[in-house]
Amino acid sequence: MENKWEYDYSSLYTSGGNTPPQEPASHPAAAPSPEQPPVQDMKPARRKRGIGRRILTGALALVVAAGVGFGGGWAGYMAARQSVGADSSSGVVLGGSPSTVEPTGDSGASALSKVDVSNLVEPSVVVITTEQVVTGGFFGQYVESGAGSGVVLTQDGYIITNNHVVAGASNIKVTLHDGTEYTASLVGADSQTDIAVIKIDATGLVPAVLGDSDSLAVGQEVLAVGNPLGTLGGTVTNGIISALNRSISVEGQTMTLIQHSAQVSPGNSGGGLFNMNGELVGIVNAKSGDSEAEGIGFAIPVNTAKTVAQQLIDNGYVAGRPALGVSVVSGETAQQYFGSAGVYIVEVVAGGGAANAGLQQGDRILSLNGTLVETTDELTNALSAYSAGDTVELQVARQGQLFTAQVTLGEKSAS
């Protein structure tokens, strides 16, 4: 079944005129750890007008359970296991206090019923709607809208969602479980992990209780709560943990995800996956888009999500990521503006490693330390093996001439 509700803001114009979209090359994807199962490579199919992008591997297709709209979506994830909480540099403590509700019963003596969990967690899950001004071809400049889900992290308005839900949005609205609506501001977003944090000016919210995704077991019952189709906020579906540590490559980004069987649809992105104690164990971000597949959903483990969220709150970005100091395009955009496919530089950051190495707008990057790159995702993946401060060798083409450049990687910041 084609997914026709998803956004891919990175493929759209972000302002008036004929400025090409800028896809940063400094979002490395994490390599899978040795103990993880082999990575399944999911290659995206060609995006069609008016429908979403399908990400395929054999008979399995993954699509982000995305915002309601008319484009494609993508999600990235890397493993991160640090704990967060009261010792964070910002002093912001994420998550609420455990419930004192007594079990009523259909899941065993140590767990709450589905009704109990639903009542506990629904106030912590919000509806997110977005607007973005885009410019494109025949239609000129117009407003495109989208929708997704989010989970409350603090009583005073910090909310976690997926990066692909809010990426490129000029206006973000949050609707609470009781119907109250707020305008939200973007605190920080990380495309590599597909995590974003937004903030509303509110108090007395009900934050989700953060669980431990490392303690999950296959077969354990879970509930997914979100906003399927962008119009059904507060929808609860149930399932089980189908598999853990699923290593999947989507558009060059390596993700380690929880696989679950709770039904999710476009609009569920950014919503919560909860265990039967009412604890948040994952952030929903992808599902199978294969018409022959049923009950195959994926979620970012909460242990990673809360770590990234804390860094976004503290810094506005995730520290330690390497950056070339360029923005690049590839694929159809490169073909349109530069006449051929490949990885082309559209912006060089002043004072960055690429600028210091003499790289210019319009240069084509052919390889990084001997690894050939033909797409921005391949460049991102190649960068993931390095750290800020490392020096890498780029092979570059400029006006028909080949040369090499030694680039010292900087640290990716919020900009």
Task: Please list the active-site residues.
Answer: 164, 194, 269
Q: How far apart are the first and last CA of the chain?
A: 37
CA atoms within 13 A on the CB side of 360: 5
Q: How far apart are CA 362 and CA 409, in angstroms?
A: 20
Q: How many CB atoms lie within 10 A of CB 92?
A: 18
Phi and psi dihedrals of 268, rounded to 5?
-75, -15
From CA 398, how far away is CA 118, in angstroms rounded? Answer: 58
- Candidates 146, 321, 116, 318; CA nearest to 221 is 116
d(CA 240, CA 218): 7
The three-point CA angle 344-346-352 to 5° equals: 105
Q: Label residues 352-372 b or e (16+ Cβ within 10 Å = b).
A: bbbbbbebeeebbbbbbeeee
In this structure, how many other beta carbons lie within 10 angstroms of the beta carbon of residue 395? 18
Q: Distances in Å between the alpha carbon of 216 and those of 36, 124, 194, 198?
A: 16, 21, 21, 27
Burial class (CB in 10 A: 0-12, 13-18, 19+), 156: middle
Question: What whole-number distance in Å separates Cα of residue 282 and Cα of residue 300?
Answer: 5
